[in-house]
Amino acid sequence: MADYDLVVRGGTVVTGADTFRADVGVVGGRVVALAENLQGKETLDAGGLLVLPGGVDTHCHIEQLEPNGTINEESFVTGSTACLAGGTTTIVTFASQFKGHPISHTLPEYRRRAREGAMVDYGFHQIITDPTEAVVRDEIPELVASGIRSLKVFLTYDPLHLDDAAYLRVLAAARRTGAFVTVHCENYEAIRWRQAALMADGKSTPKYHAWSRPRVVEREATHRAIALAELVDQPIQVFHVSCTEAAEEIARAQARGVKVWAETCPQYFVLQASDMDRPGLEGAKFMCSPSPRGPGDAELLWDQVRRGTIDVVSSDHSATSYEGNRGKRIAGENPPFTKIPNGVPGLTARLPLVFSLGVNGGRIDLNHFVRLIATNPAKLFGLYPRKGTIAPGSDADLVLWEAGKTVTITNGLMQHHIDYTPYEGMAVTGWPVATVKGGRVAMRDGKVQAEPGSGQYLPRGPYDMIRPRGALPDGFDASAFIV
């Protein structure tokens, strides 16, 4: 008799903690049993394969609305396709506030787009660019109550960046409402100053992107972001750590007991500043911020991953195409690097790159891999144990993983909307052969089958991990006052 809607049979289940042989029994889109010889109405053969929790990508820019009226090229449909092709089943994307406008100006439209397009489950971070009194008093509490429990701030980038006063207002608002804060850490004024000098010296090709924002620019902003969060007693996550100098700031704060977490991205394990020094505009394909670094940086980042300073690897998929008059060429055929959109695609490549370099490369073990790409982001963003693990009661989001399969990355395999991948031609070992989302097979042998709109919104309530630790300078809670 078939007791289960679906049984994933004969695989080796890997969670963030354990590795064991079991069938996975699914009923109603949830895992209900891990045992031997389960019988299902449908069976998915996982013999010889690893069975991992679906990837959780808590930093990706999908169909993001921009103040100039454009929309991020990757839609919820194409982005979900890329996710499923690469073994990711949950994303947290960015609703944006336009400077000078309330959050309510953009959020309902963004929700509509996600609801109609998403084929993976999704939550939102809210980007705050203008923390006016109405925003911090009324809108932030409202959006947190609606399940958007994380705010994103940029310490650089026009027109997104916040100065220290505005950043403090966001930290305080987060503390009052029980939200988490994620931070892009680079020094705005320092970058502008270097950019102006580089332009004055005629140094405008893509390789000078790296020169405009060296490690110290990231280290300084990381230190400041943490120090101000400490002043407010507000937990934060530092996004896309690119170098050990920034990670050391985080490690020092963690050692003091500060609630600061850190993420890095596969591009910082693979790409280098020298990739931007290619003929013509080719280097723009590798341009992201913080900048790819030097030849020795990736190994030092892996050290920080092994030490636990960095415990999440997200994609920061921020996709702009290369050909045509959009994306990287939006400012023309030969633009200065200051006018080239930053960002690289990475939704599909994230798991294969981290597995190949990490597990296959002998740098981390299997369970650590699962923690980096699924368990830890799910915990940090209040999605665990529904997401990020395989256990009775968790969503049946699973990846069947062929650990020994070697694949040469091509843009076609990425299945995103973007016309290039910075990893073209790179061989990786370890590849997803099937993705199950909510108990349904959504990808098999690279073929994605899912309905636009089938992804569910994931409202995120309060959870212990992001509660302030109660260490306020002089015991005075300045965030109790809207100033």
Residues that bind Zn ion (CB under 5 A): 184, 316
Nearer to Zn ion, 297 or 316 (CB): 316
CB 179, min distance to ligand DUC, A: 20
Report the alpha-carbon distance of residue 243 to residue 272 in Å, rounded.
11
Angle (nearest 5°) at CA 149 between 87 and 64: 60
Q: Are 149 and 462 in contact (CB under 8 A)?
A: yes
Would you call 33 exposed, middle or buried from its count of C-beta atoms within 10 A (0-12, 13-18, 19+)? middle
Nearer to ligand DUC, 270 or 359 (CB): 270
Q: Which does 329 bind (CB under 5 to 8 A by kind): Zn ion, ligand DUC, none?
A: none
Q: Are 57 and 92 in contact (CB under 8 A)?
A: yes
Residue, CB closest to Zn ion: 184
Return residues touching ligand DUC (CB under 6 A): 61, 184, 288-289, 316, 318, 342-343
CB 20, min distance to ligand DUC, A: 38
Report the alpha-carbon distance of residue 238 to residue 263 in Å, rounded.
6
Nearer to Zn ion, 142 or 164 (CB): 164
CB 320, min distance to Zn ion, A: 12
Report the alpha-carbon distance of residue 3 to residue 45 in Å, rounded.
17
SS3 117: helix
CB 289, min distance to ligand DUC, A: 4
Nearer to Zn ion, 184 or 219 (CB): 184
DSSP-derived pairing of the beta strands 236-238 and 180-184: parallel
CB 82, min distance to Zn ion, A: 16
CB 319, min distance to Zn ion, A: 11
Q: Tokens for 383?
A: 């999605």
| DSSP code for 293 | B
Spatial strand order of the sheet with 23-27 comes to 30-35, 23-27, 4-9, 40-45
Q: Tokens for 155?
A: 């310490």
CB 316, min distance to ligand DUC, A: 6
State the helix-helix crossing angle for 107-117 and 76-86, rounded to 10 degrees.
Answer: 50
Q: Are 127 and 152 in contact (CB under 8 A)?
A: yes
Find out whether the peptide bond into 159 is cis, omega within 30 degrees of 0. Answer: yes
